[in-house]
Amino acid sequence: MARLRKQWYDYTNKRQRLDRDDGTTKMYDYKTLVDPCPVGQCPSSRPKFPSPQGFKWQTDDMDNTCCFVWLVDSDTKEPETMDRFEVESNAKLVGSDARGDHWLSVKKFPFLQTDDWWFKNGTLTASNTYFDIPGHSPVSGYGMSNSTFSDFTTTIDPTVFDHPDSRVTFGKCKECGVDDECPMWQCMQ
């Protein structure tokens, strides 16, 4: 699987872009709701209401390789949303090290969860998350994630989030799982 090379988040406009080292890009646009089809002509595979979309394309040939998927929760059938990545309000400054100022948040109910963030000169440099669900059931166990950041900036050129149009009447982007050029398994990688 391709590794993540660079990512951008625009929380104001609810957009996210992920560039991978294999030359593919994924872009999620949670704010722009697109009508899935002309009134009364909606195939069962599409949502019945305007919904956000996710896009995947080859960076070197955006117009001819774009595939899109509807960002709809498979259980509730409601549009997916974008959550803001931010330091929790109960976090406390616990020290400093080579990565910067270390902020820690600990929650014990309903299960243990710890989150750590490091900031150097006001810039996020690293984060860690750990949780432990006690017991002997299929959902018991622990999880951990670690992230490090380089070249973190809070100003983003808006063109980073440009993508081909997917609207039926004049778009170039093809629908995942519907067009042969965009098999669903490939869109989900």
Helix (H, G, I), strand (E, B) or coil at 65: helix
Are 77 and 13 found together in one domain? yes
Are 24 and 69 found together in one domain? yes
Q: Which domain holds residue 76?
A: 4-83+156-187
Are 127 and 174 found together in one domain? no
pLDDT in tens, 70-99: 999 888 888 898 887 778 889 999 999 999
pTM of the model: 0.71
% the chain with pLDDT above 70: 96
Pairwise CA distance, residues 130 & 114, whole Å: 5
pLDDT at position 73 is 87
| Average pLDDT rounded to a whole number, residues 148-161 | 82
Number of domains the chain contains = 2
Query: Which tokens sit at 1?
Result: 């699987």
Are 132 and 169 found together in one domain? no
Are 47 and 108 found together in one domain? no
| Average pLDDT rounded to a whole number, residues 129-155 | 87
Of the ranges 23-32, 100-109, 116-125, which one carries the lowest mean pLDDT score? 116-125
Are 14 and 69 found together in one domain? yes
CA atoms within 13 A on the CB side of 132: 6
Are 29 and 74 found together in one domain? yes
- Mean pLDDT, rounded, of the chain: 87
